[in-house]
């Protein structure tokens, strides 16, 4: 998968929007490893929650082309502007929504859901300081407070053949995340893991069908 061109973004943008880092690039690697599977399920509607710079959803849109429709949400209005700019810069079309998670969409419509959440362990109160860049990392207790909300909702948003990709670190207790999903009838697989700068990143794929 080609890494999108982000040359339009400046240091000033990265004061307000999450600059792609190891977690973002690991998600790109995971999607690339899974590209045949993703193509095989013939996804029509694809969404990234918390798109930040837009690097991930744009990369997928470039790889799959016009066979699907692409959506992105972010709670940070600046990230919404930047994602749109990234999609234009890379000749892709992404519908951007300034939104909390994917709350305003209809049920069971997405074939692919991608989330690189704010996963750092922080005080719960830190999550709600602003809708700015702090939202990129502040994950509250166990770094799970935002992820847990998605785990509760994702079954209602994913289509039967759908795939849900999630970034975790050890502090998030990935085993517990997998158990929560298993109890809801999801299969899971760790697509890729990497240890970087004191973080053990793992990306999981969850699905209601076994692939
Ligand atoms: C770790 S950053 C990931 C950004 C980008 N996807 C990447 O991989 O580089 C998390 C993103 O989620 C967004 N976010 C946090 N809480 C959110 C929420 N409740 N609803 C929507 N987006 C949220 C943040 O603003 C931030 O852009």
pLDDT per residue rounded down to tens, the chain (211 residues): 999 999 999 999 999 999 999 999 999 999 999 999 999 999 999 999 999 999 999 999 999 999 999 999 999 999 999 999 999 999 999 999 999 999 899 998 999 999 999 999 999 999 998 999 999 999 999 999 999 999 999 999 999 999 999 999 999 999 999 999 999 999 999 999 999 989 999 999 999 999 8
Of all protein residues, the one whose alpha carbon is nearest to atom 12 of ligand 1 is: 50
Tell me, in angstroms, the distance from the centre of ligand 1 to residue 1's CA.
Answer: 22
Provide the pLDDT for residue 197.
87
Closest atom, ligand 1, to C-alpha of 20: 9
Q: Using the mean position of ligand 1's atoms as its centre, give its distance from the Cα of residue 12 in Å.
A: 18
Pocket-forming residues, ligand 1, beta carbon under 6 Å: 18, 20, 24, 27, 49-53, 55-56, 73-76, 79, 100-101, 116, 118, 135-136, 146
Please state the domain extents for the chain.
11-207
Q: pTM value?
A: 0.98
State both tokens at 79.
Answer: 């990230």
Strand runs labelled E in 24-148: 45-49, 69-74, 94-98, 110-115
Instruction: Please give the pLDDT value at position 72.
Output: 98
pLDDT of residue 63: 98
Q: What is the CATH number that goes with domain 11-207?
A: 3.40.50.150
Which whole-number Å values give the CA distances from 133 to 14, 50, 52, 137, 148, in the listed order? 9, 11, 9, 8, 20
Residue 65 confidence (pLDDT): 96
The torsion angle over the Cα atoms of residues 144, 148, 149 and 152, rounded to 10 degrees, is: 180
């Amino acid at each position: 998968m080609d890494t999108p061109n982000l040359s339009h973004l400046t240091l000033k943008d990265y004061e307000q929007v999450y600059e792609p880092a190891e977690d973002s690039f690991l998600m790109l690697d995971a999607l690339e490893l899974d590209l045949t599977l993703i193509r095989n399920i013939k996804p029509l509607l694809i969404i990234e929650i918390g798109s930040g710079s837009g690097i991930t959803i744009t990369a997928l849109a470039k790889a799959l082309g016009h066979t699907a429709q692409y959506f992105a949400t972010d709670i940070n209005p600046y990230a919404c502007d930047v994602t749109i700019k990234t999609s234009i810069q890379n000749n892709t079309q992404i519908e951007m929504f300034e939104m909390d998670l994917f709350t305003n969409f209809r049920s069971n419509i997405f074939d692919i859901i991608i989330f690189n959440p704010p996963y750092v362990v922080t005080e719960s109160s830190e999550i709600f300081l602003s809708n700015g860049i702090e939202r990129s990392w502040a994950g509250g207790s166990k770094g799970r407070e935002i992820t847990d909300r998605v785990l509760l909702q994702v079954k209602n948003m994913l289509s039967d053949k759908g795939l849900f990709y999630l970034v975790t670190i050890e502090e998030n207790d990935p085993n517990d995340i997998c158990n929560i999903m298993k109890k809801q009838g999801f299969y899971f697989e760790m697509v890729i893991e990497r240890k970087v700068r004191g973080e053990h990143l793992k990306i999981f794929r969850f699905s209601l069908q076994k692939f």
